[in-house]
Structure 1
């Protein structure tokens, strides 16, 4: 599978993740909290502040919420611009409320972190940066200019300059850190979700191809007898007819078309068969099926098959499942793409283990990404000469790794220890090595009991 088939752009809009109703609901909670805080401060603690102005600011938020509720449907999803303005309104409303209630003396100034954090999860990077800078600017302004707040005795509440500077610094750092952290986590979750979707699509595609091949093979099997009968009758008619008659050419054409139908069905049926006897196949056969599309791409693909220790140990059969075939095919494709001249595939088995090792004679995995292989959308941070022309290996490797691990396999990625060491056939190596191992005791690859009847072949549903 080509990685570009499922490429995800960095600038893809993400604001349509959030519904208007969600932000409005959060704002209603904020309005309730702001009202309760002012009520407790005035009635319980007797603090003196600009209560009228504070009430007016909260009223503006209520009016805005009622307006958006009445104009837009509840299930509306916000565009990038709409989400940006909704969050910028929240920042200005909260900043204005802090201005009339003591500025940074008010401990609720920490709530300025909330809109910035939400922006980091739903907006593009540029919008998040703008909104973060606005928040920092407004926090800086109210740290210097604000309406005082006093106790019941008339004592104006102030912070020592050092404490106020520390609080301002903490808010600025908090805005920056939480925005970066929330965005990074959200991007990774989004990337993983998209990669898993691509994996499911790849698996579904492979399954459909396998099923289609089975249908065609079953059709070829069922049509074999009537086509053979047509061929036999046409041959007998050819013997009875003179070559100079008009009917002779028609009979020849019938025989040729019967042969053509047989060849077409045979060619289309190579992908698989709806036959219980071939749902499991020898390990070597499954690996060869995975490698077949890459055998004639200008690189030598060599297959070495044999037991690990005990030569008397028979080769195991494993399921011809799309997860295994497609996963191995992606790994072999990657090896062929970056090999200089040859790729070696070692297939081995023991009493407790089945192993497939894929090696190429290229430059190996770049040191900058070898520890992150298997994560979706791994890309090189800078150009090096480790693997020339290497743009990225994230999604293709992620799909292969996910599919094979789904079958119970364990994958390891490495480079040859010594550049130029000799392989099993004397070819110089030094490139990438991918090892795939299955424990033989897992149910997914268990060999069926050949002594038991498999039953009738089933039609595809």
Structure 2
């Protein structure tokens, strides 16, 4: 079966973001925060190893090296497992972050128990754990860490192994205890500045993505309302258009018109325009899910684009169209009204700005289809480019204007593509629509038809 959307309204009626986007929203922040914890744990492991060696051999303060190194090895092993877990399962929940922080608290408590208990100056590293929990975890998890670290501190005061340290606080910076406190403060301050800044950046990025999704949902809801209004208008227009068609058909056979070639030509032109209006109404109803016909026709990319341009030129008053089909090797696709209407919309906007010349270039860029429409008009105002795709942003001054690019952007985005616009250096403007070929072609095993 081909992987291709059936119609424009179906594409736009769901306010939910794509599944991949929703998964990204759920995973990205937690994954990045877990990466920060893993990096912090590597630093902690190196810092603990260096501190143990310096205190034991440099300050001649006896430490239980074997159990402390075993604990340090356990911390390194846990961190290695965390790295593998993150690579194979990118989703990270609040519970997993809580477990990771609890393991860090347990390892710190074990090292402090073996090296002085509450009298160890590095006991203030508990504050680092509490601060990280406040930033990373939900409120109940944070208070859980506060309670556990408080209990650990009390337990160290009751059961910790005191070190044989001289009471020489009066020596100031020359006191080993004061030096340990200074080092602990420096570590806390440096790690908090570095990692809290990174974690805050992750949270700000998450908030920005949430705001973007809310904006998309609001825009897509707006499109749904417009689609319902268009469907209702199409129903209302059906009867008067049919009446006009009958009347024009009768006029075309009246002697007073058949004897006047100019009048007969005008009637034929009016009949053609009425037929075009009826075709547009039928397309709206079809897109709204009503009056469906046969399955979409199978065609090729080159044929689809060539026919689209030919039909557009016939139904518009355009002096010159510079059409260049540089797609390359042809691909089989399904002829779909969504993309056809989208491209015609861009061409219509270009024609309004530049009635004498419009350009269209189709290029295949690896797995993407890139359609670029150019004109020789006045170009886009800077404000329009900054708010590209926002409804009712138009320089034409018509009530309700500014919906053309809004619809184009949303159709392209729903297909997984993008829209870019700008002003040309030699005058005029361009709009580039980029669509993934996977969204508009048949299955890979059916692809590869050579161009005629």
Output the TM-score relative to the length of structure 2.
0.40
Larger RCO (alpha carbons 8 Å, 6+ apart): 2
Output the TM-score relative to the length of structure 1.
0.40
